[in-house]
Structure 1
C-alpha cells in the first residue's frame, strides 16, 4: 500500500483559492490521470477517472474502494481508494512562492498514478472577491475579466505532481 498526494500549482493573476467546484473534498469532482502498473511498469494509454462518490466492493474481504482496474498488459488487478480531508485551495501566496498545494490523497495498490489531467469543474476567487465557477482548465489556462476589480484575471502554467506520503 502506497499513498500518493496529488499536489497542484499554477500562475494566478489577480486570483486566489483555486479548488474543485464543491471544495477540496467535493465528492462529485472527477480526477483524471494515467496509471502505471506496479508489476510490469506499463502506463495506461487512456486516462482513468476516479471520484469519491463512486465506490465498488473489494473482491476479497469487506469494504469498498473507488476503483478496481486490470492492467491491459499483464492482467494484474489494482485498486485506488481516495482519502479526502487533506486538500487545500491553491492560494495566490502559495502560487507566488512557487510551491504546490495538496489536493487529494490516493491509496494505491498495484498501480501508481502518473500524468494528472486538468479538466472542468473548478472554482476560483478574484482578489477583489468575485467568484468564477465551473472553470474549465482542460485547455491549460483560464482568462476572464473581473468587473468588480476592473482587472484581467488568469490561470496559466498549470502543473501537478504526485508525491508519496505516509
Structure 2
C-alpha cells in the first residue's frame, strides 16, 4: 500500500527547522476512496489511538461512511514531522500517512508548529494558517520568518 505524503515548501528567513510534536492537531479535508463523499476539517493528533471495531488494529483517525459497513482509517507512518532546511524554497516531505478507504485532499495548516531559528532559539505555537509567520530574535537582532508556505499531498 502506497503512503500519502504531505510535502511543504516555503521561503525562509533565518529558519533552521520547522516541526510539530505529537500533540499537533492535524486538520484535513478528506474524500471516500470509492464515492464522492467528503468530510471537511477532520481533526486528529498523532497521539490519538482508536480501536477499530471488529479488528485488532488501531488508528489515529477513523470514519464510517454512511453507505459502507467498514471503517476507513488514517494512521501516521513513522516520520519525524520535521523539516531541516539547508536550501530555501524546496519541497520537503513533512509527514506520511497510511490511508485505508480515505483520500486526503487538502491540508489545513493551523497553530502549534514549532520553529527553530539559525541561532538556536525555539518559537512555540507558531500559527501558519495564513501561510506566513514572522517574529524577531531580540538577542541576536534578527527577523525570523516563514513566507508563502505551500503544501501538496502526494
Scaled to the shorter chain, the TM-score interval is 0.7 to 0.9
- Cα distance between partner residues in 2 of 1:121 and 1:150: 24
Counterpart residue number, 2:47: 53
Could you say if the C-alpha distance between residues 83 and 134 of structure 1 is closer, same or farther in structure 2, counting changes exceeding 3 Å?
Answer: same
Counterpart residue number, 1:89: 82
Could you say if the C-alpha distance between residues 123 and 117 of structure 1 is closer, same or farther in structure 2, counting changes exceeding 3 Å?
Answer: same
CA positional deviation for 1:162? 1.9
Could you say if the C-alpha distance between residues 151 and 159 of structure 1 is closer, same or farther in structure 2, counting changes exceeding 3 Å?
Answer: same
1:93 partner SS: coil
Match among 130, 135, 139 for residue 126 of structure 2: 135
Gaps of 5+ in 2: none
Counterpart residue number, 2:72: 78
Do structure 1's residue 29 and structure 2's residue 20 form an aligned pair?
Answer: no
Q: CA RMSD in A?
A: 2.0
Gaps of 5+ in 1: 21-25
- Cα distance between partner residues in 1 of 2:68 and 2:55: 21
Q: TM-score, normalised by structure 1?
A: 0.81
Q: Following TM superposition, where does structure 1 have runs of at least 4 consecutive aligned residues deviating by more than 4 angstroms? A: none
Q: TM-score, normalised by structure 2?
A: 0.87
Aligned pairs, how many?
Answer: 153
